[in-house]
Amino acid sequence: MAKLSQIRALLQRASQASAGELRFRAGQEFHKRSDGLLYRLGWLGTPSGEAEHGRRSSSGGSFFFSAADLPLLAEIAQTRFPEECRATIQRADRTAAHRFDLLGYENLDLGDEIDWHSDPVHGKRSPEKLWYRIPYLDFDTVGDSKIVWELNRHQHFVTLGRAYQLTRDETYAREFVSQVRHWRKKNPYPVGINWTSSLEVAFRSLSWLWARELFADSPLVSDEFRSELVAGLCQNARYIERNLSVYFSANTHLLGEGVALFFVGVLCPELRAASRWRERGWSIILDAARQQVRPDGGYFEQSTYYHVYALDFFVHSRILGARNRVQIPAEFDKTIIRMLEYLAALGTAGPPARFGDDDGGRVFDPSRTRAEHLLDPLSTGAVLFRRPDFRAVAGSLREETLWLLGPESAGDFDRLPKVSPPSVSHAFPDTGTYILASKGLSLAFDAGPLGSGRGGHGHADALSLCLCADGALLLGDPGTGTYTGSKEIRDDFRSTRAHSTLSLDGLDQAEVVNPFAWDRFPQVTVERWLDGETFSLIEASHDGYLRFAQPVRHRRLVYFAKGRFFLVIDSAEGAGEHRLEINWRLPAAPPDLDESHRSVAKSGSAGLALIPTEDSGWTAELAAGRWSDSYGSESSRPLLRCRAKANLPAEYATLLVPRVTQRTALGVLQRRTGNRAGVRGFEYVVGGERHLWVLADSQEWQLGEFRSDANFAYCAQDAGGRIANLVLCGASFFTVAGANFLHADSRQAQLEYRLIDGGAEVFPAHVAQASSAALPADELAAASAAAPHTPDGAS
């Protein structure tokens, strides 16, 4: 029955494929099955006659650094990165003892003889048969294929090579030669799981090329061995070329495969097919830059990790191409710069939000897999494009930059002007990422699609939030955990309830099909994005719950009083009774809740207060949830769970207050209602200050002493009762106790008033006037006090 359903699925896909795709796939089937037949007949071996002694051609083939650069690179690395160098040597020593860190799994002992086909974490071993007959996503058959592949990417060879340059210890060179020869003996093409993915063969090829250069001056790396290595690279490139992921995974898979073809073509010019591989690889890279990167610079997989993954591939290829006189299109550089700008905006106040899947792999150093490591490309981008702002967000030079751009890159980085990280809000409408930022605070709002294609690396996290303050993560994305190790874990990490957004009836915003596919994607609509002098505001909704028998739309509004706090208002628009739940995902344990459900979570020296609306229909409790700092690791982290069973429509607000370390400094968030249906507000009083947010339609309204025609208003009063800050959206006037305070000749998308020393400011000044700005402070305070605060339900 299972085989019959598979055949039906294949026939359906074939009926939808173009003639070009059918020809391409038919060619791939012919090559792999003919290679399998030749292998069984004993007629298939390593391609011969492709290279002479594995020596470099005299025309071209320049790596990122030359052999003459190596002593100086090692010296600078030890001076600039002493801790990293010590860690590299320690990892190399463990590698020589066959103990490996793979993804989030640390110090795995693989024994005296490495079994290249096993998953050492789950104790499973892949069968040694023709690669296209191995179900590499079947956990019961092979274990977690990502763990197997991570070992067989051979990126630990680069670690051995760096350690060799730092110590000149030939133990590392001996281990490199031994492992390569052992691997090739145990993995004859086309047998085994390590030939099932073209991307994995591509990574292995890149590792071999890096290691060849890092061991260039070792006497243990003979010409004979170099010839073997080049023959292996030739076989890898031949395989990649015949099995490109053009119609299967035309994302980072295809991009990585193109990068490997380009690298082998450039760096092994003695191979007969080198020029073809170079051109084909470069074409794939440029096509990927055009097709896989959105106009605003975000990567189309809707995953921060994959954004960095692709960016690394582009940057490495761009640098190698320039060193080998490849013409770099201006548009390619612009794409890389846009990707760097997107990453810099995400990381302006701390680790970038990890929206979507965490793959666990890196192009240069596989140990740098945590959120804070995702800013690494900004160091190289700062030097490559002379961008002080990239340097500011990166914070410091990365070792990777040194190896990619040579000894002079350290000085180039240092000579860039020192500037502060940009503290401005950013909108990336194509990717759907909105950054509300100011003065060391940054909130990332996910208003983008679930993902590309079938959403293989996207999560059901529409309208979710991540928050950083002063370099610390305060609200985060819990990560990924695994791809194939456990369906329950895979589905849990990418579920709606795993993210800081609203879930209904315990269901996801989309429907799970398999570990790499979703159905019935939610469509996100951004209704409003405003960024002013004193505030940023984003309002968006999604239709993921319209598929219910009683359809529901989730709407979320976030108001940022710059430098202060964020008000998050969630609305469930629909009918009928539903279970509503918001899980605020915290990276560190908060204390117990108080009677008002207020909580303070700490992350390092930073603190975050979560203040839900006082509402008898909602409950709040501290709970534990899954968290994964990197693929393969899992721990328990706290969450603040706010829940209600309510008849819709329903609305709930939460105030997020960064830089608070104790509850005694907090106020209470209360609901307020206006003079008619549809006019509602939320009030927060703390330390003598009063903050009021009002939502309404576009008709005139009154709430307490305030009257306006704004559809959104924020009013902040200081301890003396003076209005210190006023923001109006879609408004023409605002009065206080009958006195005209701010007015314009016509409705404006946004109006702002700010009290400053010696007077006040109005934005935009050319369309609005603050009539009360000239009033003495005591008169304004008296006018405000003339109409006291109204209780719920009063007009």
- The answer to whether 625 and 586 are in contact (CB under 8 A) is no
Same domain, 301 and 405: yes
- The answer to whether 558 and 463 are in contact (CB under 8 A) is no
**40 in a domain, yes or no?**
no
Q: Is residue 392 pLDDT above 70, yes or no?
A: yes
Distance CA 441, CA 562 (A): 8
pLDDT computed for residue 754 by the predictor:
95
Same domain, 594 and 701: no
Confidence of residue 99 (pLDDT cuts 50, 70, 90): very high
Task: For residue 150, give the nearest of 116, 179, 184 by alpha carbon.
Answer: 116
Which of 634, 666, 698 is where one domain is finished? 666
Same domain, 645 and 688: no
Same domain, 389 and 445: no
Establish how many alpha carbons lie within 13 A of residue 458's alpha carbon, considering only the half-sphere containing its beta carbon.
31
DSSP codes, 515-546: TTEEESPPPEEEEEEEE-SSEEEEEEEE-TTT
Same domain, 675 and 789: yes
**12 in a domain, yes or no?**
no
pLDDT computed for residue 52 by the predictor:
44
Residues 415-438, buried b or exposed e (16+ Cβ, 10 A)?
ebeeeebeeebbbbeebbbbbbbb
Write the CA distances from 74 to 165, 402, 477, 706, integer angstroms.
6, 10, 37, 67
pLDDT computed for residue 38 by the predictor:
85
**260 in a domain, yes or no?**
no
Distance CA 752, CA 167 (A): 62
Q: Is residue 59 pLDDT above 70, yes or no?
A: no
Question: If you average pLDDT over every residue of the chain, what do you get?
Answer: 91
Q: Give, for 174, the enclosing helix (H) or strand (E).
A: helix 170-186
State the CB neighbour count (10 A cutoff) for residue 647: 11
Helix ranges restricted to H, 349-427: 376-385, 388-394, 399-405, 408-415
State what percent of residues in the chain have pLDDT above 90: 79
Secondary structure in 3-state letters for 215-243: CCCCCCCCHHHHHHHHHHHHHHHHHHHHC
Same domain, 706 and 576: no
Which of 647, 666, 685 is where one domain is finished? 666
Same domain, 494 and 608: yes
**22 in a domain, yes or no?**
no
Phi, psi at 700, each rounded to 5° = -65, 140
What is residue 500's DSSP assignment?
S
Same domain, 230 and 296: no
Distance CA 257, CA 280 (A): 10
**Cis peptide leading into residue 190 (ω within 30°):** yes
Q: Is residue 592 pLDDT above 80, yes or no?
A: no
pLDDT computed for residue 12 by the predictor:
59
Which of 631, 666, 701 is where one domain is finished? 666
Same domain, 431 and 388: no
Tens digits of per-residue pLDDT, 120-135? Answer: 999 999 999 999 999 9
Taking each helix axis as running N to C, give the angle between helix 274-291 and helix 304-323, from 0 to 180 degrees, rounded to the nearest 10: 140
- Work out the average pLDDT over 235-243: 96
Q: Is residue 47 pLDDT above 90, yes or no?
A: no
Same domain, 682 and 784: yes
pLDDT computed for residue 794 by the predictor:
35
Q: Would you call 63 exposed, middle or buried from its count of C-beta atoms within 10 A (0-12, 13-18, 19+)?
A: buried
Same domain, 403 and 533: no
- Work out the average pLDDT over 469-478: 94
pLDDT computed for residue 1 by the predictor:
47
**658 in a domain, yes or no?**
yes
Tens digits of per-residue pLDDT, 598-646? Answer: 788 877 667 899 999 998 789 999 999 999 999 999 999 999 999 999 9
**459 in a domain, yes or no?**
yes
pLDDT computed for residue 57 by the predictor:
45
DSSP codes, 10-44: HHHHHHHS-HHHHHHHHHHHHHHHHHHHHHHTT--
- The answer to whether 263 and 209 are in contact (CB under 8 A) is yes
Same domain, 504 and 445: yes
- Residue range(s) defining the domain that contains residue 375: 292-422
Tens digits of per-residue pLDDT, 636-668? Answer: 999 999 999 999 999 999 999 999 877 777 899
- Work out the average pLDDT over 31-54: 70
**602 in a domain, yes or no?**
yes
pLDDT computed for residue 10 by the predictor:
52
User: What's the total number of domains in the chain?
Assistant: 4
Tens digits of per-residue pLDDT, 200-227? Answer: 999 999 999 999 999 999 999 999 999 9
Distance CA 705, CA 702 (A): 7
Q: Would you call 737 exposed, middle or buried from its count of C-beta atoms within 10 A (0-12, 13-18, 19+)?
A: middle
Distance CA 464, CA 441 (A): 17
Confidence of residue 789 (pLDDT cuts 50, 70, 90): very low
pLDDT computed for residue 6 by the predictor:
52
- CB under 8 Å to 299, separation ≥6 — which residues? 292, 293, 306, 307, 310, 311, 339, 431
Tens digits of per-residue pLDDT, 767-777? Answer: 778 875 434 44
Confidence of residue 16 (pLDDT cuts 50, 70, 90): low
**347 in a domain, yes or no?**
yes
Q: Would you call 56 exposed, middle or buried from its count of C-beta atoms within 10 A (0-12, 13-18, 19+)?
A: middle
Secondary structure in 3-state letters for 603-653: ECCEEEEEEEECCCCCEEEEEEEEECCCCCCCEEEEEEEEEEEEECCEEEE
Secondary structure in 3-state letters for 114-127: CCCCEECCCCEECC
Tens digits of per-residue pLDDT, 278-310? Answer: 999 999 999 999 999 999 999 999 999 999 999
Tens digits of per-residue pLDDT, 343-380? Answer: 999 999 999 999 999 988 899 999 999 999 999 999 99
Distance CA 728, CA 679 (A): 15
CATH number, domain with residue 445:
2.70.98.70
Please report, to the nearest 10 degrees, the dihedral formed by the alpha carbons of residues 51, 52, 53, 54 taken in order: -30
- The answer to whether 306 and 294 are in contact (CB under 8 A) is no
What is residue 362's DSSP assignment?
-
CATH number, domain with residue 240:
1.50.10.100
Q: Do the bridges between strand 565-574 and strand 650-658 make them parallel or antiparallel, or are there none, so unpaired?
A: antiparallel
- The answer to whether 728 and 742 are in contact (CB under 8 A) is yes
Tens digits of per-residue pLDDT, 453-473? Answer: 999 999 999 999 999 999 999
- The answer to whether 176 and 207 are in contact (CB under 8 A) is no
